[in-house]
Amino acid sequence: MQPRQRLGLDQSTDVNCIQTDTYKQNLNLVLSDLVNHASNSSFYNSTAGEAGIDRSYAFFYCRGDIGSEDCRDCVQAAALEASENCPSEIEVIVYYFQCTLRYANRSVAFSQDEELWSYAYSPVNVSNPDMFEQTVSTTMNTLISQAAYNSTLPGFARGVANYSSSNVYFLVQCTPEILGSSCEKCLVGALKNVRTGGPKAAYILYPNCQFMYDFDPFFSNSKEEHQMDNSGPRQFDFGVIRDATSNFSRGSELGRGGFGVVYKGALPNGVEIAVKRLSVNSGQGGKEFKTEKPRKTAGILRWRRKRLLIYELMPNLSLDRFLSDANLRSTLHWQERYKIITGISRGLQYLHEDSQLKIVHRDLKPSNILLDKEMNPKIADFGMAKLFNLDQTQANTTKVVGTIGYMAPEYVITGKFSTKSDVYSFGVIVLEIISGQLNSMSYQYSPFTSEGLLHHAWRLWQQGAIQELVDPTLGNNYLRIQVQRCIHIALLCVQEAPARRPTMSLVLTMLSSSEIELPPPTPPASFAYEINYLRHDAWPEDHASMASHGSHFSINQTC
């Protein structure tokens, strides 16, 4: 997520509220004053200019639990964003999770303006909303009273409540200007705006007060405490990563996706890194965050609500870069291709069998296979990964996500997925590596065609002409028996019945030992066949209903 995730930015829409040069000069003075005071105060208001429409008023307040450095950074970022996004408006308010900043040509420090508020909710509700809403109401009323009247830290209170064997974390705050009954009124009004249905997290921010709760801890027990996950790979300090990426600047961006932004950076020792900043709106929770950690990242950072994954930068970028470029593909010799195949299989075997929990990637494709300087592959982008219990074999979802050409057909049609779904994707990638063809391109015009790479490979297999599948750029510089065995294994992986597909540990064994006899493959799955089958009501009722509400996928694009 962003270092100071913004909940909202409101601005005046009055056509007469346009900055004059004098107001702009006064505004620059007060914003600079706010930033200068943010290092030693959690609340501050400032004015500049003579009385009249050109006089500028501004204030900020930071959450009572954050440190002085974070407060300064948050206020500075809010001031910069307001200047960039609202260059002409006289009155603006910026809401971040950690701070609020507001300015106008009138005194606003005491003005509650209840119509100006921002919010964020969890997309997931609790199972018993009535009981949970009672827990929220009881806890919040206690904290509101503490913040308004009895708090040792004026205007601020926090607490933890237990709900259904889980902790829920609460925080309320008012600016010092509205303590007492005005603070209580503001927070009670904010509490009334919590969405019914029991969302698992809610953040309600008003100009002069805020309250929030979440099942994930988001506040510190002291201002200087860093809440970091102490298991797994190396832990990084947030300031180091912020500096490495030039404060997560646009110029440092490597790419954007539905689950976050990836930045390029360099550590103080010169090591280049890629930093994935997970979006708070992506739906990736604590478990999904942990799926990226084992053997895949150089380090992690989870600090309050910031979730960052730090990778060693892959100088050769991703596998699809080589497969989609004829010139680069010609540099990819067979031994390198074979190393990539075995490396991917080891990575999947670890996810499926050696990790503490089974991990199903669900979006395995060449663009998610990163290559280091030695062309060793690393599986990346676990935004869609799902965790299984050790004794769990498959799961179901009402929203199918992934990339056409790599998704197993039973997953597309029924929503059911398992480790064998990843095995199918692996088989497709092996055929792509050998042939130099991207299977997703076969689906450019008809996603359910049976004329794609898989069926082309199957026909060549039946005809005993499988060598015709080999990428012409390899010439004769490859081991014929080794290539044929890899194709055979790939065809076993893309068989229609998931139960017939081998496990990844068996795939590794078959790759490493040429003495193990391989069973004959059955035909690969056909989307066209299965869609037709579905339309003739041949699927069981639960499968048909799963498909009827609509699956979400795209052609060569993650959904």
The answer to whether the pTM exceeds 0.85 is no
Which tens digit of pLDDT belongs to each residue from 82-94?
888 888 888 888 8
Is 162 contained in some domain? yes
Which tens digit of pLDDT belongs to each residue from 38-65?
888 888 889 999 888 889 999 999 988 8
| Residue 250 confidence (pLDDT) | 86
| Residue 550 confidence (pLDDT) | 29
Non-local CB neighbours of 327 within 8 Å, separated by 6+ positions = none
Asked if residues 441 and 403 have their Cβ atoms less than 8 Å apart, the reply is: no
Asked if residues 508 and 430 have their Cβ atoms less than 8 Å apart, the reply is: no
| Residue 64 confidence (pLDDT) | 85
Is 113 contained in some domain? no
Domain total of the chain = 4
Asked if residues 335 and 349 have their Cβ atoms less than 8 Å apart, the reply is: no
HEC secondary structure over 431-496: HHHHHCCCHHHHHCCCCCCCCCHHHHHHHHHHCCCHHHHCCHHHCCCCCHHHHHHHHHHHHHHCEC
**Domain boundary at 265, 293, 312, which?**
312
Q: Specify whether 268 is located in the same domain as 182.
A: no
Hey, what amino acid is at 400?
V
| Residue 189 confidence (pLDDT) | 87
Q: Which two three-digit tokens encode residue 323?
A: 């497969």
Which tens digit of pLDDT belongs to each residue from 230-275?
334 455 667 778 888 888 888 888 776 555 678 888 887 777 888 8
Q: Specify whether 428 is located in the same domain as 508.
A: yes
- Specify the 3-state DSSP secondary structure of 125: strand
- Give residue 165's domain range: 118-214
Q: Specify whether 304 is located in the same domain as 323.
A: no
Q: Which two three-digit tokens encode residue 527?
A: 């989307």
| Residue 73 confidence (pLDDT) | 85
Q: Specify whether 539 is located in the same domain as 426.
A: yes
**Domain boundary at 104, 138, 159, which?**
104
Burial 15-46 (b: 16+ CB within 10 A, else e): eebebeeebbebbebbbebbbebbeebbbbbb
Specify the CATH number for the domain of residue 151.
3.30.430.20
Q: Specify whether 289 is located in the same domain as 402.
A: no
Specify the CATH number for the domain of residue 264.
3.30.200.20
Is 264 contained in some domain? yes
Q: Specify whether 348 is located in the same domain as 200.
A: no
Is 332 contained in some domain? yes
Q: Specify whether 347 is located in the same domain as 448.
A: yes
Specify the CATH number for the domain of residue 330.
1.10.510.10
**Domain boundary at 54, 78, 104, which?**
104
Query: How deeply is 558 buried, as exposed, middle or buried, from its count of CB atoms within 10 A (0-12, 13-18, 19+)?
Result: buried
DSSP code for 130: H
Asked if residues 18 and 40 have their Cβ atoms less than 8 Å apart, the reply is: no
DSSP class per residue in 497-512? SGGGSPPHHHHHHHHH
Residue 276 is labelled as binding a ligand: yes
Q: Which of 147, 123, 127 is nearest to 63 (CA)?
A: 147
| Residue 432 confidence (pLDDT) | 94
Q: How far apart are CA 105 and CA 110, in angstroms?
A: 14
**Which residues of the chain carry a pLDDT beneath 50?**
1-4, 12-16, 221-225, 227-233, 281-298, 302-304, 383-400, 441-451, 527-559
| Residue 448 confidence (pLDDT) | 34
Q: What value, to the nearest 5°, has the Cα angle with vertex 440 and ends 373 and 355?
A: 55
Q: Which of 498, 258, 280, 291 is nearest to 387 (CA)?
A: 291
* Total residues belonging to the chain: 559
Q: Specify whether 308 is located in the same domain as 367.
A: no
Q: What are the catalytic residues? A: 363
DSSP class per residue in 55-114? -EEEEEEE-TTS-HHHHHHHHHHHHHHHHHH-SSBS-EEEEESSEEEEEESS--SS---T
